[in-house]
């Protein structure tokens, strides 16, 4: 196992270093056993103290028809809802950008079918995991190299797709994908590394 992320709420007054030590030295080794090696990176509460949680700190319309809102089960889903969240939440912006980049892979002629997946650690802008599957329809190695040229940091995604505009009422019904005019549905004019907006 290359990396483990644990974000856990804790009582006020507990030293942050004690939380991190407990997670790294006791919880993770005990829970994962031989899967953890000396090269495994353990990110323990990477965003810092986690005293306030639950609905008082993180309230939105989570869980709202997540499969219907996305691809109807045609692609892998991490379980995070998009509706009710602003674009700083990677459930929304990361999903949109994966769709955008997967379309770019196909448009670049690297595959006829592509699925891009990404995961993040809270408090870290760079993805903890980034992958693409071409399902045997093209150049897998080429697609893997291609997607790494895109900037998957949330702030960069928001800027590129111009996600701070009031565009979300159009996706409250009938899903977020396959709809004309949305920035993640537009064909990328250029490849990775672009600073141009998609819209």
CB 165 within 8 A of CB 77: no
Spatial distance between the Cα atoms of 30 and 67, rounded to a whole number of angstroms: 34
| Structure token digits, residue 8 | 């856990």
Q: Which CATH number fits domain 66-185: 1.10.10.10, 3.30.300.10, 2.40.50.140, 3.20.20.70?
A: 3.30.300.10
pLDDT tens digits along 96-145: 999 999 999 999 999 999 999 999 988 889 999 999 999 999 999 999 99
Phi, psi of 92 (to 5 degrees): -90, -65
pLDDT tens digits along 6-47: 988 888 899 989 999 999 999 999 999 999 998 898 988 888
Q: Mean pLDDT in the chain? A: 85
Q: What fold characterizes domain 3-55?
A: GMP Synthetase; Chain A, domain 3 (3.30.300)
* Domain range annotation of the chain: 3-55, 66-185
Q: Would the pTM count as exceeding 0.75?
A: no
Q: Which of 50-59, 75-84, 153-162, 190-199 has the lowest mean pLDDT?
A: 190-199
pLDDT score at 107: 93
């Amino acid at each position: 196992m290359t990396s483990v992320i644990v974000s856990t709420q804790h009582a006020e007054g507990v030293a942050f270093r004690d939380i991190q030590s407990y997670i790294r030295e006791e919880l993770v080794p005990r829970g994962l056993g031989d899967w953890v090696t000396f090269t495994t990176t353990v990110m323990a509460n990477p965003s810092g103290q986690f005293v306030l949680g639950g609905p008082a700190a993180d309230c939105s319309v989570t869980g709202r028809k997540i499969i219907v809102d996305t691809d109807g089960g045609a692609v892998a889903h991490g379980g995070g809802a998009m509706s009710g969240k602003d674009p700083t939440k990677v459930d929304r912006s990361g999903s949109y950008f994966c769709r955008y980049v997967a379309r770019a892979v196909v448009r670049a002629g690297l595959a006829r079918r592509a699925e891009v997946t990404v995961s993040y650690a809270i408090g870290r802008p760079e993805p903890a995991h980034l992958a693409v599957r071409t399902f045997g329809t093209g150049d897998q190695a080429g697609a893997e190299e291609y997607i790494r040229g895109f900037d998957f940091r949330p702030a960069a995604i928001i800027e590129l797709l111009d996600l701070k505009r009031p565009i979300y009422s159009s996706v409250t019904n009938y899903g977020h994908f396959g709809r004309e005019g949305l920035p993640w549905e537009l064909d990328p004019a250029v490849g990775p590394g672009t600073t141009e907006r998609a819209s």
